[in-house]
Amino acid sequence: MEAKVILKQDLAAWIDALVKQYEVIAPVTEDGVVVFRPVSGLSEMAIEGMVGPAKSLREHFTPPTETLFDYKLEDLSAEVIPPENEERHRVIFGARACDAAALLYVDAVYSNVEPIDTAYFMRREKTYLVGLFCDKPAWSCFCTEVGDFLTNPVAMDVYLTDLGNRYYAEPLTPKGEELIGLGNFRPADENDKAANEEIRRKALERLPKRAEHETACLSYDWDHPVWIELAKKCLSCGACAFLCPTCHCFDIQEHPKLKKGSRYRCWDTCQFEKFTLMASGHNPRETRKERTRQRVFHKFKYSQERYCMLGCVGCGRCIAACPVNIDIRKVLEELEKTAVAK
């Protein structure tokens, strides 16, 4: 598909055209941090000079709290009332390559369970992604260590790169071409393509090289001393999990009100002590040693074995947000150093 260019002076008109047809969700500054929220125009968006959104796209596909159904009880019968479907198609504008890649992982997870998660896949079907190349990676980013999706994007319809006074736009799907057709784009020329390559080259210079975690993770040591060190530091706050674009665990609760009520699900994490607490009182991951090991094994070894892909896209949010400076890159380094020595 042909790459095109739009001048920044024409961006507002393009966004307005998108808003007329879709719900547009884009980066905005909220309480001092960048998050994705519905917008009505370019003036609300925070895409210029954005280092990286504090939150991933997760909440727009699996909300932190979501009603599964309401119910009414009458004698021995019950009426189940499903939630209203979200009818409008939407565009997520400015998505990062790591967050888009994370959706493929979550797709794989939800595709391997029954019953099918209709709410998640309905949102996926009705959402189009306009990505934005990450030319200012944060100090904690390591996406290039776990994949090549920064320069070979996945799960996007359009991929934009900021060239200063204009955006270089690559339509990646027929829907992407349709979205671009709503704006005042022109075909990209050789100067545009050269500028795009230069922007990418400079960004890649600031990021780590590709590692072979897919192979190395299969030999991670279950009894490695790093788990004890992690257990000493980890506070089990769950910040790493709630900011992670590939984490997907949830709890299900009832909210009864006399003869009616609702069943809902809410985010949960394997880093919480009671996550695996059973009715019998047994807890297979009673200490932080088991829980921190589970997180790393799940992101790498188990995901590679089950889905043939890593469960980490290197967004680095867990590193930036950890209150005790746990750095998963260092953990992997320790695990793989030992594996090589053996």
pLDDT at residue 276 in the model:
93
pLDDT digits (tens, 9 = 90+) for 55-78: 899 999 999 999 999 999 998 899
* pLDDT, averaged across the chain: 94
pLDDT at residue 112 in the model:
87
The answer to whether residues 317 and 54 touch, using CB atoms and an 8 Å cutoff, is yes
pLDDT digits (tens, 9 = 90+) for 31-56: 888 999 999 999 999 988 777 788 89
The answer to whether residues 27 and 60 touch, using CB atoms and an 8 Å cutoff, is no
pLDDT digits (tens, 9 = 90+) for 91-130: 999 999 999 999 999 999 999 888 889 999 999 999 999 9
pLDDT at residue 75 in the model:
86
Q: Sorting pLDDT into bands at 50, 70 and 90, what band is 170? A: very high
At 233, the amino acid letter reads: K
In sequence order, the β-bridge partners of residue 158 are 130, 171
* C-alpha count within 13 angstroms, C-beta hemisphere, residue 79: 5
Q: Which residue has the tokens 């947000």?
A: 321
pLDDT at residue 76 in the model:
86
The answer to whether residues 82 and 262 touch, using CB atoms and an 8 Å cutoff, is no
pLDDT at residue 84 in the model:
86
- Where is pLDDT greater, at 181 or 338? 181
> Alpha helices, DSSP H only, in the chain?
11-21, 97-110, 118-125, 143-146, 174-180, 190-205, 213-216, 226-233, 239-243, 288-297, 303-307, 317-321, 328-341
pLDDT digits (tens, 9 = 90+) for 229-279: 999 999 999 999 999 999 999 999 999 998 999 999 999 999 999 999 999
Q: Sorting pLDDT into bands at 50, 70 and 90, what band is 339? A: low
Beta-carbon count within 10 A of 226 CB: 20
- Where is pLDDT greater, at 31 or 14? 14
The answer to whether residues 166 and 147 touch, using CB atoms and an 8 Å cutoff, is no
Q: Sorting pLDDT into bands at 50, 70 and 90, what band is 206? A: very high
- Where is pLDDT greater, at 118 or 13? 13
324 pLDDT more than 60:
yes
87 pLDDT more than 80:
no
pLDDT digits (tens, 9 = 90+) for 213-228: 999 999 999 999 999 9
Q: Which residue has the tokens 């257990």?
A: 231
pLDDT digits (tens, 9 = 90+) for 296-318: 999 999 999 999 999 999 999 99
pLDDT at residue 52 in the model:
76
